[in-house]
Amino acid sequence: MNNKKRLMWQLPFLTLLVVGSVLIVRQQRSMPYQNNKGMVFGTTYNITYQSDKNLNDEICRELQKVDNSLSPFNAQSIITAVNQNEAKPLNDMFKEVFNRAMAISDDTDGAFDITVAPLVNAWGFGFKNGVMPDSRQVDSLLQLVGYEKVALKSGRVVKQDPRIMLDCSAIAKGYGSDVVARFLRGRDIKNFMVEIGGEIVTSGVNPKRVPWKIGVTKPTDDTLSVSSELQTVLNVTDKAMATSGNYRNYYYKGGKKYAHTINPKTGYPVQHSLLSATVLARDCATADAYATSFMVMGLDAAKRVLERHPEMMAYLIYSDDQGRNAVWYSPSLKDKIVE
């Protein structure tokens, strides 16, 4: 009798729970997806998210915060002040990225290094001075490069030499994607894809109610970024993904091809068989930085780093002994490759 009474009391609550769940699912299915596009950090952004409200203005404000912290092209940014040795307070964004960069530099034995700015500029990228440096100039600039020559102490960046400059371009786009993803999650948005300059964070499902599918571009010379031929497609949900490659940012001088990835240890553009590195990680700043690191260190060294980090996955495209494109990917990535 007591069990029957208890059941009688529980039935209305169970009914309410079922009806409420059905209504929530129905509401989620009918809620539209928004799509915002624009320019930021000198590249494009494309953000798709399920919401009954267009949040583009708020998203732009979040992106502006990142630009105000990390863009060397923004005269009022914190990183510009640091590079000019001005006493400007560091905010949480700058400190978060700086500390993450130092940790990844340490883990990659300096393959990732945010002090590489002078070399990047000298080789004609960044501020595009277009003058190829000679060996003497490279040796001179190497004295100003090295992540161990900067540190965060008492809330400010301490440099061993005031001429040292920071360049966060190999982590800032990924971090920007993380910031927008964090903002969307804070609005209780479950389904979204944030893409800034090819650095991506996904969550939930796309407008077709299936996992997000992200293409990996085939590494063919394409300085204008007009090629859309895909090497493969990955099923990516609740992950961050970043790709680095030398097939879009390079120039020819004296009949020789110079890639945009500079080795912070040698001071010269990298020249090895790795053509493209796509990294999947928990956050996009990490994926972005390691993708760049792998392009510096090459295929074999990248594999060794990945062995230490089972939480990361990578899809690496390289040129084999016959000059043909070949692929290596993390075993854990196999079930995410869309045939």
Q: Give the CATH number of the domain where residue 309 resides.
A: 3.10.520.10
155 and 215 both lie in a single domain:
no
In a domain, 204, yes or no: no
For residue 234, list its beta bridge partners.
214, 337
What's the domain range around 123?
Answer: 34-159
- Reduced to 3 states (helix: H, G, I; strand: E, B; else coil), residue 159 is strand
Q: Which tens digit of pLDDT belongs to each residue from 37-51?
A: 999 888 899 999 999
Q: Are residues 131 and 216 in the same domain?
A: no
Residue at 57 is within a domain: yes
Structural domain includes residue 53: yes
The answer to whether residues 230 and 155 belong to one domain is no
Same domain, 217 and 324: yes
Q: Does 22 reside within a domain?
A: no
Q: How confident is the model at residue 230 (pLDDT cuts 50, 70, 90)?
A: confident
Query: In sequence order, what are the residues at sequence separation of 6 or more whose Cβ sits closer than 8 angstroms to the Cβ of residue 12?
Result: none
- Average pLDDT over every residue of 269-275: 83
270 within a domain of the structure (yes/no): yes
Q: 149-204: per-residue pLDDT in tens?
A: 999 999 999 999 999 999 999 999 999 999 999 999 999 999 999 999 999 999 99
- One domain, residues 151 and 216: no
Do residues 227 and 154 share a domain? no
Report residue 225's pLDDT band, with 50, 70 and 90 as the boundaries: very low
What is the pLDDT at residue 324?
Answer: 82
Verify that 150 and 217 share a domain, yes or no. no
In tens, the pLDDT along 276-308 reads 899 999 999 999 999 999 999 999 999 999 999
Same domain for 234 and 153?
Answer: no
The answer, yes or no, to whether residue 216 has pLDDT greater than 80, is yes
Name which residue leads in pLDDT, 209 or 245: 209
What is the per-residue burial (b if ≥16 Cβ within 10 Å, else e) of 121-136?
bbbbbbeeeeeebeee
Torsional sign, CA 58, 181, 193, 305: positive
Domain total for the chain?
2
pLDDT score for 173: 95
- Residues 49 and 154 reside in one and the same domain: yes
Both structure tokens of 176? 């920007």
Residue 302 lies in a domain: yes
Tell me the pLDDT of the chain averaged across its residues: 86
Query: Measured between alpha carbons, how far is 260 from 252 in angstroms, rounded to an integer?
Result: 11
Residue 28 lies in a domain: no
Residues 149 and 234 in one domain: no
Domain boundary among 159, 190, 220: 159
More confident site: 236 or 292: 292
Same domain, 151 and 45: yes
Work out the pLDDT band at 224, boundaries 50, 70, 90. Answer: very low
- The verdict on residue 170 lying in a domain is no
Q: What single-letter amino acid sits at 191?
A: N
With cut-offs at 50, 70 and 90, classify the pLDDT of residue 21: very low
DSSP 172-227: HHHHHHHHHHHHHHHTT--SEEEEETTEEEEESB-TTSSB-EEEEE-----TTS--
Residues 226 and 330 in one domain: yes
